Amino acid sequence: MYRHIQDFLNDWKSEEANTLKIFTEITHDTKSKEINVNVRTIEKLAWHITHSITEMAAAAGILETDQLAETPMPETMAGITELYQKYCGVFAQALRSKWTDSALEDGIPMYGETWKKGRFLQIIIAHQTHHRSQMTVVMRMVGLPVPGIFGPSKEEWEFMGLPAME
């Protein structure tokens, strides 16, 4: 659970960069490739990550409304990426102006439960990380290289001339 807004914002910026590493590897030919009827396509996962920023922030009272609720998924990854970057910034700015460190212990209603605000911040990052991980599995299935996020990927080990860890 976060106890300082700035600690969250530092992590949020880092996680945004990690997500952008994934988004930039997705090609037009692979973005909508379905690998299984029970698995979202890469573009649907990217859009879910993007839209969840405004949906969750509105539910938590950080944004006045879910600003992407009526927005259709863009047809290109560039369009999704642009909205992702925009709303990462919108969310961060709204958070800075509305919440304080001393309020992070306060409870807010979220999805039928009460979460502490500091816990909400932890969950919004974990939610993004969870779906970003799903994206890397789909990327492997459709033949895309996977960038390293918290350490080198298989491709990056190979580029360094080292065997990938088992």
Measured distance CA(17)–CA(15) in Å, rounded: 5
Helix axes 77-98, 5-25, angle to 10 degrees: 180
Report whether 51 belongs to an annotated binding site. Answer: no
Whether residue 4 is annotated as binding a ligand: the answer is no
127 marked as binding residue: yes
Question: Contact, 33 vs 142, CB < 8 A?
Answer: yes
Whether the CB-CB separation of 108 and 115 falls below 8 Å is answered with: yes
**Binding site, residues?**
48, 127, 131
Please report, in range form, the residues annotated as the binding site for a divalent metal cation: 48, 127, 131
